[in-house]
């Protein structure tokens, strides 16, 4: 009987020892995992800070501010693909750090919003590309003469290294002549211009 008690005690002590050893190993592994996770998280944070301005401004935030100003009359809600961005606006990835570009789902609406954070040294190249795109769009108005007033009211804006191609506004179904259409388009465009300028004023 004593022999069985001795064996039972040895088994119990072995089990306790194994349990303690397992807990110790698990604790070391968890500590290692936390350390590695912290390092990765730190790298991601640094990368994120490099992508954005020091003040936290992003092209997406600027886009949201402009879209909010127009509400349901903000028509461009489909992302412009990089190849279209290059062919229509002359913008290539080496020219910018950030870019938000959108167009409407319905093709006959001319609305476009392109916001670019130019790479250092590429500012004038980006601005020139957007201005050339606007000139080309105005020259092609014969395709859609009903969009003439809206396209003529379009603007290229810049502030704090951000460049914006803005062709926005409510569809005009009230104007009865060209002068009224021009005034309506300018008033609609002014909504976006004010939102763009206010965004940077509020950040200051």
Beta-carbon neighbour count of residue 171 at 10 Å? 15
* Phi, psi angles (nearest 5°) of residue 96: -145, 155
pLDDT score of 10 more than 70: no
The answer to whether residues 114 and 130 touch, using CB atoms and an 8 Å cutoff, is yes
User: 146: which DSSP letter?
Assistant: G
Among candidate residues 52, 50, 70, the one with its CA nearest the CA of residue 111: 70
| Crossing angle between the packed helical segments 123-139 and 82-89, to the nearest 10 degrees | 80
**Higher-pLDDT residue of 194, 44:** 194
Give the least confident one: 76-90, 97-111, 124-138.
Answer: 97-111
What pLDDT score does 57 carry? 79
For residue 133, give every residue at least 6 positions away whose Cβ sits within 8 Å of its Cβ, in sequence order, or none: 88, 89, 90, 165
Q: Could you tell me the pLDDT band of residue 155, with boundaries at 50, 70 and 90?
A: very high
For residue 69, give every residue at least 6 positions away whose Cβ sits within 8 Å of its Cβ, in sequence order, or none: 191, 192, 194, 195
What pLDDT score does 114 carry? 98
**Higher-pLDDT residue of 6, 55:** 55
Q: Could you tell me the pLDDT band of residue 147, with boundaries at 50, 70 and 90?
A: confident
Question: pLDDT digit string (tens) for 18-36?
Answer: 444 344 444 444 433 333 3
The C-alpha torsion from 39 through 45 and 47 to 49, rounded to 10°, is -150
pLDDT score of 193 more than 60: yes
Question: pLDDT digit string (tens) for 37-65?
Answer: 222 223 322 222 334 454 567 999 999 99
Q: Tokens 């040895």 identify what position?
A: 10
């Amino acid at each position: 009987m004593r022999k069985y008690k001795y064996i039972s005690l040895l088994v119990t002590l072995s089990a306790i020892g194994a349990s303690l050893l397992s807990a110790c190993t698990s604790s070391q592994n968890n500590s290692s995992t936390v350390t590695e996770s912290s390092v990765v998280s730190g790298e991601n944070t640094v990368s994120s800070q490099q992508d954005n301005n020091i003040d936290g401004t992003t092209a997406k935030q600027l886009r949201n501010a402009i879209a909010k100003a127009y509400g349901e009359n903000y028509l461009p809600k489909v992302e412009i693909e990089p190849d279209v961005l290059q062919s229509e606006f002359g913008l290539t990835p080496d020219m910018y750090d950030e870019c938000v570009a959108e167009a409407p789902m319905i093709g006959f609406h001319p609305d476009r919003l392109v916001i670019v954070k130019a790479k250092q040294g590429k500012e004038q190249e980006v601005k020139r590309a957007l201005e050339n795109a606007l000139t080309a769009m105005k020259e092609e108005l014969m395709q859609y003469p009903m969009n003439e007033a809206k396209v003529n009211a379009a603007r290229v804006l810049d502030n704090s290294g951000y460049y914006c191609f803005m062709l926005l506004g409510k569809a005009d179904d009230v104007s009865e002549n060209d002068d009224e259409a021009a005034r309506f388009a300018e008033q609609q465009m002014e909504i976006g211009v004010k939102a763009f300028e206010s965004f940077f004023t509020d950040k200051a």
